[in-house]
Structure 1
Amino acid sequence: MAGDLPAELLFSAVFPLPFRVLSLAGLGILGWATNVHGLHLAGIDARSVLDLDSYDPRHSRRALAANDRRGMGWKYFQSPISVYRPVYSLFMVYAAWIATNWLLYRYATYADLDRVDTFKFIPAIAALVVTMVLVSPFNVFEKVERDRFLHAIHRCLFPLPRRVHFTDIVYADVFTSFAKVLGDLWLSFWMLMPGGSLLVLPAQEGIASWILPTLMSLPYAVRLRQCLIDYRAPGNTSSRPLYNALKYATSFPVIYLSAAQRIVVSELRLAKGDAVVHEAWHGEHALFRLWLFAAIVNSLYSFWWDVTHDWGFDLLVPRSFAAEGIPHRPHRTSSPPRPLVLPGLYSPVAMLTPEPAPTFSDASKESLFPHEREHPGLRKPPFSWHPFGLRSKLLFPLPIYPFAIVADLILRLTWSAKLSSHLHAYTDGDLVIFCFELAEVVRRWMWVFIRVEWEIVKEGKDGHVRSPAVGPTLGLGDEDYEMVASNQDGHGDVGG
């Protein structure tokens, strides 16, 4: 029975690492579908904001056909329903496949350690079928969404040389939350190979001991490169991308110092015996203290960046200092933040077409936002200190933001531990690591909502007003394409 298994092997026998990797991947699929769906329910057209049509292989063909028919610059856009509905379908099929294989594995092994490795071909077949379907050229299992995912990976690994789009930034940040999953994928591969075991991690000695941290650091290297591309982009005069790049650079010491602690374990094992292998921390060693310092710096810096730059809140901005390009905020408003506008003003159609911002004389002092002219209560001093440390324009209910900030702080502090491969040496370390990975996926899911919201507010502040006037529509329903006029001034895409 499962209760008779040794504590350190119970979790690995019941829920081996390959199934944990597949489960987290499925949770990522579900998270993305609920992100787009939730934004849609909030009146935000995530498809337009994230420019998801640039990932749609059908988009270019339809756009060319429209150009040929009308002889003018028209684009086709789809409702967000056409994004999240097939992703939900894909998740249901994926979840059914993984659950069936796991139940079959549990029935075959019945928590018997002697049977675990005998039936390890079950998770191997499950993973192989998932991989084959992912790269399949046949129009089955939501091929458009599968191609969109592969295209996203390609654009993140090989970004445009002059500009990184906002959608690529979001995708790359999501991939950083799966950094540990990439390392687990490498370990799972060797576990499933002949000679491997689902109960014991593969030996990591010599050069092989650095492959795992290198794979885990790959998403951060991708995001670091995106920041440098933004910094060198023509017309950029801000140093903000460099500070953002510094945030991702601070993750490398956490990852590699954690891997280096395995060397410490090997040295202590020679001195103290095999019992030292089951010790999680080796605080008497200077390497551990250096890793702890790097983890604290990275976690706190990342949390500050999330709140201040990714979400646009004033909570952690000192009043005596001005954010880059923003004058000192001299005073605090007396009323709580207000919702941005009625959801209808940011309907899927209204959010699609950028319109050049109208120009006004300095004497007019008229807001660039039509809805602010209609609702004077929404107008705030441009550089005021907002109550509760938030901002003047909010799309979601107010209680969501304090919860998100506190949750982000707690989960950021556990983030570095999640990237620490030496915790696998701890009894029940696999369970601890899996909980950290699960929490990080949930944190990133929450992060996406507010990150996309801030991009909308920020674009509005920059004058990229979304006009309710759009081009003619085809009238084919939510899942069909709508035709809207493309912006002719070069601002058609939402950049990062």
Structure 2
Amino acid sequence: MFYISSRFYFLRTVLRIILPLQAITFPDFFLADIFTSMSKVFSDLERSVCRMVNRQVATIAWFEADSICGSHSIAIPLVLVFPYLCRFFQCLRQYRDTKEKACLLNALKYSTAVPVIFLSALKYHVFPEQWVGFYRPLWLISSVINSLYSFYWDIKRDWDLSILTRIFMFKNPSIWTNLLYGQNWVFYWVLGSNLVLRCTWTYKLSAHLRHNYLTLFTIAALEILRRWQWVFFRVENEWNKMTAKQNLEMSSDMPSEGDRLLDSSNHTV
């Protein structure tokens, strides 16, 4: 009735994400990737728990509570970065098991989120002129690198789409997925929307948008849309890989025409 087995499977997967002491499976890194999109949710949860523990829910002014359990708290960047660190160590574990260099490149992708998070948090601990003159340019550079790297990885590695292969003439171009074959507009929509949604952090450059709750809600909703698109095509890509592998195994098990002819010659007619 309550799908107890599924709930325990989910909890076991979460434990495997936190402690990647075993071989990484598809559910492990699939759920961990989703958790990276929920880092803001986890940080909001941490704020709520902090204020309840410190009895700041209704007994203290908002700006005073924010100085203790809000943006100035060191716990916020730690909570934000935790899902990325989990995914980073998963990639290292995968490299240990498979020795594939792509795992290290994937780990590098998640590591690019670390300076973005901590430089953003540093804004509340330095003087304004230090932030504007030195740390803000570093944050901008880090954010651009993280967005473009993640965008490339989504398109080329996670979804295995081929437009970047043809544009930049990479070797061994992949084919379009079965879902997108013959539907070019879907392909270009996914490509364009993923790039735009990967750059939603630019709203922080506007002072009046940065503290607007409607803007924050909209950005969170757009991240849900982006992650849903990622999940949709990531699962499709994994399915295509599994199907191709099964077809290859079946074709290798079937005897060739020459083998059948040789086998038939051993029988008397």
2:34 is matched with which residue: 164, 169, 174?
174
Q: Distance in 2 between matches of 1:153 and 1:425?
A: 37
1:425 Cα shift?
8.9
**Is the aligned partner of 1:405 residue 2:253?**
no
Find the counterpart in structure 2 of residue 351 from structure 1: none
Q: Distance in 2 between matches of 1:283 and 1:406?
A: 32
Q: Distance in 1 between matches of 2:10 and 2:206?
A: 31
Q: Distance in 1 between matches of 2:121 and 2:141?
A: 15
Match for 1:258: what amino acid? Answer: S
**Secondary structure in 1 aligned to 2:57?**
coil
Q: Distance in 1 between matches of 2:199 and 2:138?
A: 16
**Is the aligned partner of 1:464 residue 2:250?**
no
Q: Distance in 2 between matches of 1:192 and 1:211?
A: 15
From the superposition, tell whether residues 417 and 203 of structure 1 become closer, same or farther in structure 2 (CA, over 3 Å): farther
Find the counterpart in structure 2 of residue 455 from structure 1: 238
Gaps spanning 5+ residues in structure 1: where?
Answer: 1-139, 272-281, 323-327, 329-382, 469-496
From the superposition, tell whether residues 403 and 148 of structure 1 become closer, same or farther in structure 2 (CA, over 3 Å): same
**Secondary structure in 1 aligned to 2:117?**
helix
1:320 Cα shift?
6.2
Within-5 A mapping of 1:176-195: 176-193=36-53, 194-195=55-56
Find the counterpart in structure 2 of residue 440 from structure 1: 223
Within-5 A mapping of 1:303-322: 303-317=151-165, 322=170
Q: Note the aligned Cα RMSD (angstroms).
A: 3.1
TM-score normalised by structure 2 residue count: 0.78
Report Cα offsets for 1:409-441 as digits up to 9, x if no partner: 111011x458x7x98996743332222222112
From the superposition, tell whether residues 230 and 253 of structure 1 become closer, same or farther in structure 2 (CA, over 3 Å): same
Match for 2:231: what amino acid? Answer: V
Counterpart contact for 1:191–1:202, Cα < 8 Å: no
**Is the aligned partner of 1:252 residue 2:34?**
no
Counterpart contact for 1:221–1:248, Cα < 8 Å: yes
From the superposition, tell whether residues 192 and 149 of structure 1 become closer, same or farther in structure 2 (CA, over 3 Å): same
1:232 is matched with which residue: 96, 100, 105?
96
Counterpart contact for 1:176–1:219, Cα < 8 Å: yes
Counterpart contact for 2:120–2:139, Cα < 8 Å: yes
Match for 2:85: what amino acid? Answer: A
Q: Distance in 2 between matches of 1:393 and 1:195?
A: 52
Query: How many matched pairs?
Result: 242
The structure where helix makes up a greater share of residues is 2
Q: Distance in 2 between matches of 1:423 and 1:191?
A: 28
The percentage of counterpart residues that share the same residue type is: 31
Find the counterpart in structure 1 of residue 24 from structure 2: 164
Gaps spanning 5+ residues in structure 2: where?
Answer: 251-269
| Larger CA Rg, structure 1 vs 2 | 1
1:217 is matched with which residue: 81, 96, 103?
81
TM-score normalised by structure 1 residue count: 0.44
1:204 Cα shift?
4.1
**Is the aligned partner of 1:395 residue 2:243?**
no
